[in-house]
Structure 1
Amino acid sequence: MRAKERAPDPAKEGRPTAMPLTLYVDSARWRAHQQHVLEQFPGLVPVCKGNGYGFGQERLATEAARLGTGPLAVGTVYEAARARDFVSGDLLVLTPYQLTEEPVPLPTRVIRTVASVDAVGRLVGARIVIEVMSSMRRHGVTEEDLPKLSSLLADVTLEGFAIHLPLDRADGSSAVDEVIAWMDRLRAARLPLHTMYVSHLQPDEFEQLQRQFPQTRFRARIGTRLWLGDHDATEYRGTVLDVTRVTKGDRFGYRQQKVSGDGHLVVVAGGTSQGVGLEAPKAMHGMMPRAKGVARAGLATVNRNLSPFVWEGRQRWFAEPPHMQVSILYLPAESSAPVQGDEMVAHLRHTTTQPDRVVER
């Protein structure tokens, strides 16, 4: 999708005149990408958790139903409880059942993930997926647990096993080899291997496993790759609400800081309630990324923080920390000033952003 910094006339476009933070979606391109992923991973399980990857869970549930692949994976039992009102099919809860969790009323079409022998024993009559301990070292049954499972499976409906793999492999190990090792352990323990749910495999790795184990149906649980894999299919834009000319030394904002030079203060839609200014910690590898991180931290100590908003091809500086629903940016005098109603492209992380609206084209 080509970035545009000036908004079309709302009256001509038939768009509302509200001034929001908007997620624009190139629908045809977005759906074509979904279909491509489905071809790479037949029988995939769409993942719809958290904020629905910026689209909202109900919106993604509609797309998942269109794909027609079966269960929809959600993050928690609370998400499953909400999703039952707009999802008619099966729901797979990815967070493992906890022995101490509070009861949440759920329909029988909800499948629970379990990661311990005790959890299997507790969920008599339930539909379950048993997760094995991968190199993620997060949760899962161990090889030593496998002999204890056989006697418990008669009291549950086993939908399959699952393995959650890491994204990166710094040691050069093979994701396929890790899955094969677990397949061999499960087979040696004489446990049912009709279905294996997998995460974070490449298409060729997925195909290799399906060829090597034709009696097992591999199902890839996919979220980010499915919904966000084509970066050019989506774009965030914040609407300019006000523009004020300022002179060096003028005070402004909640903390009455001084403006560093002549220019403009631009109020743009999008603040902390929508996820603007929020950033998850990043794993840095190499000297250059670390140097940039140190530089950003140094600038922050003197109240210089780069915003996600772009004007004239450059990310612009926050004038002060973002407010709840708007951000105030500083544009130096040499930059042309936007006018009310213009839109500024925003580079935002989908999984932490709550746009005011989603507009499909």
Structure 2
Amino acid sequence: MALTLYVDTDRWRAHQRAVAAAFPGLVPVCKGNGYGFGHERLAEEVAMLGSDIVAVGTSYEAASMRELFSGDILVLTPYRRGEEPVPLPDRVIRSASSVDGVYGLVGSRVVVEVMSSMKRHGVAPEDLGKLRAALDDVRLEGFAIHLPLDRADGTDAVEEVIGWMDRLRAAQLPLHTMFVSHLSADELSRLRQQFPQTRFRARIGTRLWLGDHDATHYKGVVLDVTAVTRGDRFGYRQQKASGDGWLAVVSGGTSHGVGLEAPKALHGMTSRAKGVARAGLATVNRNLSPYAWDGKQRWFAEPPHMQVSILFVPAESQEPKVGDEMTAILRHTTTQYDRLVDL
């Protein structure tokens, strides 16, 4: 029995088309685990959208994607000298975020990333003079800027891009194409109006594939149900049941990504208080599972196993039955499903 990803295919694809219409010339991003859908499935979707290019995270992903997609493939991770060489076709475009990286890509198709307020990687303004000479030996596909999602200081994302456009123009560097991330359609429109000779291409992943939350659902099937009374011992560690109810064994465990949680940036006292409360509950073995049953998210009875999770369902709830499915609120980018079902 399986952890299943159900996809309302018509709705999902309608959302994709709406995003593509709002961002002409978009570059679909298919990195990591393919946003929960896998590279093969997303390659098919990109082809249906009619895109001439797809972006992946690493050169290893590009090697895999070349068998799935016939257009150009942009590698987002910047090239570094000394990295393991991966045989790639000429339709693969490498990113570079330093002058040295550009020099290491002689003869290659290259997108140069500039340093944004993300401060993650990118060519700095003071290196633009050196960059001009390095570009003579590569085939420049354009520049790129990766912008932050939030702007706590109130700065304008468009103004940040304009600042870089002015720097590049002052350095007499070509501005035929600029790849951007995390801009709205309205913000892109402002840039296109100000720089009509530049083609702006939005690199979009999350918004494209996961922007309509109601188009996809994970569900785990109930494999076994055992009645327990308060104080009964169970599980690997022989813990005591906290009350009367049922232990429900549900498909989906650590190998699927169940129980994984990425650190979150907390803002405000409310979110911080909730974080403290969750941490306090965890110290007494109270961990909320991603599974919902009878209208409520249920607690893990014990930490998830490799392929299943055991949940405690209290007696006042509806009794789960073998074969029932429980909706699971899972993060697509860290989840590995057993099967995908198109509805």
Quickly name the TM-score band, shorter chain normalised: over 0.9
Q: Percent identity?
A: 75
Q: Alpha-carbon deviation of 1:90?
A: 1.1
List gaps (5 residues or longer) in structure 2.
none
Q: How many residues align?
A: 343
List gaps (5 residues or longer) in structure 1.
1-18
| RMSD of Structure 2 on Structure 1 (CA) | 0.7
Matches within 5 A, 1:323-334: 323-334=305-316
Which of residues 246, 254, 257 is equivalent to 2:239?
A: 257
SS, match of residue 95 in structure 1:
strand
Matches within 5 A, 1:173-212: 173-212=155-194
Which of residues 114, 131, 134 is equivalent to 1:149?
A: 131
For 2:116 and 2:82, how far apart are their aligned partners in 1? 23
Q: Which amino acid aligns with 1:84?
A: R
SS, match of residue 159 in structure 2:
helix
Q: Alpha-carbon deviation of 1:249?
A: 1.4
Q: Alpha-carbon deviation of 1:70?
A: 1.4
**Is residue 306 from structure 1 mapped to residue 321 from structure 2 by the alignment?**
no
Q: Alpha-carbon deviation of 1:211?
A: 1.2
For 2:302 and 2:152, how far apart are their aligned partners in 1? 39
Q: Alpha-carbon deviation of 1:154?
A: 2.3
Question: Per-residue CA shift, 1:189-233, capped at 9, x if unaligned?
Answer: 110110000000011001110111110000000000000000111
**Is residue 92 from structure 1 mapped to residue 74 from structure 2 by the alignment?**
yes
Matches within 5 A, 1:273-352: 273-352=255-334
For 1:100 and 1:302, how far apart are their aligned partners in 2? 48
**Is residue 234 from structure 1 mapped to residue 226 from structure 2 by the alignment?**
no
For 2:171 and 2:50, how far apart are their aligned partners in 1? 34
Q: Which amino acid aligns with 2:107?
A: G
Q: Alpha-carbon deviation of 1:74?
A: 0.3
For 1:278 and 1:46, how far apart are their aligned partners in 2? 26
For 2:136 and 2:271, how far apart are their aligned partners in 1? 52
Q: What is residue 8 of structure 1 aligned with on the other side?
A: none
**Is residue 223 from structure 1 mapped to residue 205 from structure 2 by the alignment?**
yes
Q: What is residue 90 of structure 2 aligned with on the other side?
A: 108
Q: Alpha-carbon deviation of 1:65?
A: 1.0
Question: Per-residue CA shift, 1:43-101, capped at 9, x if unaligned?
Answer: 00000011111111111111011111211100011111111121221110000001121
SS, match of residue 165 in structure 2:
helix
Q: TM-score, normalised by structure 1?
A: 0.94
Q: Alpha-carbon deviation of 1:184?
A: 0.3
Q: Alpha-carbon deviation of 1:244?
A: 0.6
SS, match of residue 94 in structure 1:
strand
